[in-house]
Amino acid sequence: GAGVSQTPSNKVTEKGKYVELRCDPISGHTALYWYRQSLGQGPEFLIYFQGTGAADDSGLPNDRFFAVRPEGSVSTLKIQRTERGDSAVYLCASSPTSGSQTAGANVLTFGAGSRLTVL
Amino acid sequence: GDSVTQMEGPVTLSEEAFLTINCTYTATGYPSLFWYVQYPGEGLQLLLKATKADDKGSNKGFEATYRKETTSFHLEKGSVQVSDSAVYFCALSVRAAGNKLTFGGGTRVLVKP
């Protein structure tokens, strides 16, 4: 598609429930990144993929969070046993690649985000 | 680790005023530097970038110069408009870290007519 698409745009769930957030990156972009943005703060890195593999998952806060990208395109962020502190906007971004210094190659394009509210 | 510090807001200005948002960074490698903007109700958008020391990024009347000696990337605009009201984020990326972005906390700017 023309941009990064994230669904759902809004998700309200109850504490303890399981949630999946989907990201459809720009066609042809091999690198995909997940961020979390809490109210009034800057985005915090969670995980990024180069192709199908998770190249860096150092930002995942705990083992309740997991992400996959099985075919190297669409990615799903999965949150188990949600807690109220998980409430935030989850942002996805993609770029043509993750390891190049070629001008423009390392520019991330962000989606509009998925706002998660845990009651 | 890598980090970005930017001035806290909100910054409230009158139309046509001069805007400066300070940004400093620490990085383990040689970073590229970015300013992203988030308009009300919209997603993050790249505003400008610079990839090496002394480079100047510019877009929509905004400018920022990569200052390696002071590890800074301050954002400036000579004459702001109401439409510039937004949250501005300074960020860096390091090639060795897969070009993932590290963001500052954001600065909210409100321009009044």
Three-class HEC string of chain B: CCEEEECCCCEEEECCCCEEECEEEECCCCEEEEEEEECCCCCEEEEEEECCCCCEEEECCEEEECECCCCECCEEECCCCHHHCEEEEEEEEEHHHCCCEEECCCEEEEEEC
Distance from CA of A16 to the nearest CA of B (A): 28
Q: Considering only CB atoms, which chain A residues are within 8 Å of B36?
A: 110
Q: What contacts A48, CB < 8 A, 6 or more positions away?
A: A31, A32, A33, A34, A54, A55, A56, A98, B98, B100
Of A40, A55, A106, the CB nearest to B93: A106
Mean pLDDT of A38-42: 91
Q: Which residue of A has its CA nearest to B34?
A: A107
Residue-level pLDDT at A36? 97
DSSP string, chain A: --S-EEE-SEEEE-TT--EEEEEE--TT--EEEEEEE-TTS--EEEEEEETTEEEE-TT--STTEEEE-TTSS-EEEEE-S--GGG-EEEEEEEES-SS--STTTT--EE---EEEEE-
Q: Do A108 and B46 touch (CB under 8 A)?
A: yes
pLDDT > 90? residue A15: yes
Per the structure block, which two tokens stand in for A14? 């109850």
Residue-level pLDDT at B97? 73
List, for residues B5-55, the tens digit of each pLDDT value.
Answer: 998 889 999 999 999 999 999 998 889 999 999 998 888 999 999 999 999
Q: Do B43 and A100 touch (CB under 8 A)?
A: no
Residue-level pLDDT at B16? 96
Residues 62-101 of B with CB under 8 A from A: 89, 91, 93, 95, 97-101
Distance from CA of A52 to the nearest CA of B (A): 15
Residue-level pLDDT at A1? 55
Q: What is the dihedral of CA A118, B4, B9, B13, to 10 degrees?
A: -130
Residue-level pLDDT at A97? 72
Q: Do B46 and A107 touch (CB under 8 A)?
A: yes
Q: Are strands B11-14 and B107-112 parallel, antiparallel or unpaired?
A: parallel
Distance from CA of B98 to the nearest CA of A (A): 5
Q: Considering only CB atoms, which chain B residues are within 8 Å of A101?
A: 32, 51, 95
pLDDT > 50? residue A103: no
Residue-level pLDDT at A35? 97
Mean pLDDT of A73-90: 97
Q: For residues B105 and B8, is the Cβ–Cβ distance under 8 A?
A: yes
Measured in degrees and rounded to the nearest 5, phi and psi for residue B94 equal -125, 130
Q: Do B45 and A48 touch (CB under 8 A)?
A: no
Mean pLDDT of A2-6: 91
Mean pLDDT of A99-114: 73
